[in-house]
Homo-oligomer: A and B are copies of this chain.
Amino acid sequence: VAKLAGVSVATVSRVINNSMTVTQDTRVKVENAVRKVNYKPHLLARGLRSRSGNLIGLVVPEVIMHAFSCFVSYTDDSLIEAGYNMILGNTHGDPDREEKFIDNLIRMNVSGIIFSRVSDKSRAFRILESTNIPIVVLDRSLQHEDVPHVVLDNYEAGRLAASHLYGLGHRSTACVTGPLEISLCRERMSGFLDYYREKGIEIAEELCFEGNFKFESGEKAAHYLIKPGSDITAVWAQSDLMAVGFMKRLQKANKRIPDDISIVGMDDIDLSAMIDPALTTIRQPFRQMCEKAVELILLEKELGRENLDHKHIVLKPELVVRDTTKSIV
């Protein structure tokens, strides 16, 4: 290609990779030629030879859910910044697709995989163990796992919600969880329950409704939990969407928020600030999680998984008080 400008292909490669073993003289010559032919190195061929491409895979269960579209956007940002390109896999919560896609990634020799697993049932790790591709688990981890990961302190999130409600005087509360096959949902619930337990209040099992993070399951939860005779004064939902569904059902039943029932959500999606009344919620630091995940995977690539000092990054949730919670003392 650009060697039609005096030198050998090797030298061109050196110029492009800023090898310092090249004269200023020839460097300029090559750079001119490059500009003239408008030459662009082929990124994939590069990866082929040097055994290290510029591709990093991101695996998420559902792009259209707010939390994950944040992951997609923010991870992409950080990767681009670091000079990588992102290849995205949407598993739709299906372990088969998950496995298939990860297989694809391996076959592309990606430099790393950032992985938000479908559920605790994910089998995909078996495949990954046989390679030495750097991997970081994002958001959905298992407690006992040794794999590097970046997660929220979900137990603390539960305690935070509980402490806010308890502080406002609520003694009779309920909890709407995500799918309990996802371990972070169990952790959140434990945090919530434990806090109340420490205060001498045992939340009955019937007051924990298992939803699926979506709007409709929030509505269902309200239907199930708020019966005539129920004395619940507050609820924590493990996603804002469920919280909003809960509110909608309540408003239909002519309950007033927060006067009759206080509600806390989780995630702090845009919607939370838009609705009326605006939702009190627990914010997850999505952007920071993605930044850390990218940092970690780059580090892992450089040092090897074994030599990683801090393989486990745990970030803190933050309480955002708006208008759906109210003191009842």
Using CB atoms and an 8 Å cutoff, list the residues of chain A in contact with chain B.
Answer: 38, 40-45, 47-48, 53, 55, 62-64, 66, 69-70, 72-73, 76-77, 80, 85-90, 97, 101, 103-104, 106-109, 130, 215, 244-245, 248, 251, 270-271, 274-276
Chain copies in complex: 2
A251 CB contacts on chain B under 8 angstroms: 276
Given contacts A40-B106, A85-B108, A276-B248, contact A63 B76 (CB under 8 A): yes
Interface of A is mostly: helix
Contact (A85, B87) CB under 8 Å given A44-B109, A274-B245: yes
- A48–B108 CA distance with the chains assembled, in angstroms: 12
- Whether A86 touches B85, Cβ cut-off 8 Å, given contacts A73-B64, A276-B251, is no
Task: Tell whether, in the assembled complex, residue A108 and residue B63 are in contact, meaning their CB atoms are under 8 Å apart.
Answer: no
- Residues of B within 8 Å of A62, CB to CB, are 73
CB distance from A241 to the nearest CB of B (A): 8
Contacts of A108 in B (CB 8 A): 42-44, 85
User: Which one of B66, B89, B107, B245 lies within 8 Å of A43 (CB-CB)?
Assistant: B107
A277 to chain B, nearest CB (A): 11
B64 touches A70 (CB 8 A): yes
